[in-house]
Amino acid sequence: MRPDVAIIGGGAVGAACALELVRRGAEVTLLERGPELGSGCSAGNAGLICPSHSTPISNPAAVRNGFRWMLDSASPFYLKPRPAAVPWLVRFLLAARRAQAGARAIRALSVASLELHAELGHELDTGFERRGVLNAYVTEESYAAGRREAQSSGLAFEALEGDKALALEPALGPRTLGAVYYPQEAHVDPLRCVRALGAAAAAKGADIRTDVEVRRLRREGDRVVIEASDGTLRPETVVLAAGAWSGALARTVDVYLPLEGGKGYHVDLESAEGDPRIPTWLQESWAIATPLPGRLRLAGTLELAGLDLTINSRRADAVRDGGVRGLRGLEGRRVIDVWAGLRPCTPDGLPVIGRPKGLPGLLLATGHAMKGVSLAPVSAKLVGELVAGETPNQDVAPFRPDRFRPLLPLR
């Protein structure tokens, strides 16, 4: 079989790429290792579409806090001790110096992606709702930092003192000192969004295959051959959007892609009257509360755990406790679901979008860390432009795959 494009990965980025490419007239095959689209980290995140949160995970504050937190298994940022993570961690520390430039690059993508999400939400059943995003603070220091960040972002925002913050969102806890509100931002129901994108792609003719494991890639001239559990594919272009598993697959064709699985958690609570109407980022608790149909989702934490998907109950409890501390009425609420997923994290916190040098048949679209759902539409648009040989409408230089070089030979 020779489809024009084969996409590896059926999360938000892969599904969005399938829809974009099939709309452009490509023959598209999408391979997903799970039983359905959205089987990975796209299913369980907070669903925020928020340019306001564009600072890459590698930044000076993360480095400072990381040394305090990284060995505490209940902290917002935890490193599971593994020798294999040391090279990634060294690059992470060095990249913190470039955090401002990285934030500008991610914000430019995020602003464009927000509008593309709005278009998709109008057209498809993605659960898109534009209620804004609220950042709540309980200390003067953090509130001041939040105001400074908002002022430098160039985004529309409102700084709200305690009473005004509570008037806008009565679910905020009594310790709330202030909040910063970004009224133009939005959220989606993440799993609903991925499935809507996939269904729309399939309706346009994309071949969506689930329960297919891609075992390895191999070079065949300038192209990449896919060896999968259901056979061999020789497409003109392979789009690698396999999340945290992308690095291992890229390595089979001698492409260096340093990715760590950044495990995040959610705890879904039964919804109740008085739940927050606006998605709320509880800054000191490092927890996000997103109102979704039939449930209130509490999401958060970052655990560098490789490809370990086991649920650490202590970390899940920390996410829930953060919500209880920051919001009213959550104590004793029935838990519907506890989930963990692996975000694909590059050391500099920026996604990887583009073709690696010397292998034009491969196009990478991965490494989105905590913004995979948020950046999926704009990433897909860039992939579509690159596949078509067009000049991308966004600057993709900060996201080029070849910005990383292996310290040792791959073989």
Cα–Cα–Cα angle for 221, 401, 372, rounded to 5 degrees: 115
Torsion-angle region of 329 (φ positive above 0: left; ψ -120 to 50: alpha; else: beta) = left
- For residue 162, the tally of other CB atoms under 10 A from its CB is 17
Q: Which two tokens stand for residue 378?
A: 């704009």
Domain ranges of the chain: 5-132+184-403
Please tell me the distance from the alpha carbon of residue 186 to that of residue 130, in angstroms, as a whole number: 4
Q: 83, exposed or middle or buried, with CB in 10 Å at 0-12, 13-18, 19+?
A: exposed
Phi-psi region of 301 (alpha: psi -120 to 50; beta: other; left: phi over 0): left
The pLDDT, as a whole number, for residue 286 is: 87
**Calpha distance 45→56 (Å, rounded):** 17
Q: What integer pLDDT is reported at residue 410 of this predicted model?
A: 58
Instruction: Report which of 189, 196, 186 is spatially closest to residue 18, judged by C-alpha positions.
Output: 196
**3-state SS assignment for residue 404:** coil
pTM (two decimals): 0.95
What are the φ/ψ torsions at residue 97 (nearest 5 degrees)? -65, -20
Which among 20, 12, 1 has a CA at the least distance from the CA of 383? 20
The DSSP string of 295-350 is: EEEEEEEEEE-TT-----HHHHHHHHHHHHHHBTT-TTPPEEEEEEEEEEE-TTS-
CATH classification of 5-132+184-403, choosing from 3.50.50.60, 1.10.357.140, 3.40.50.2300, 3.10.20.740? 3.50.50.60
How many of the other CB atoms lie within 10 Å of CB of 219? 16
pLDDT along the chain (411 residues), means of 10: 85 98 96 95 93 93 75 73 84 93 97 98 96 97 96 97 96 96 98 98 98 97 95 96 96 95 95 97 93 96 86 92 95 95 96 96 97 97 96 96 78 57
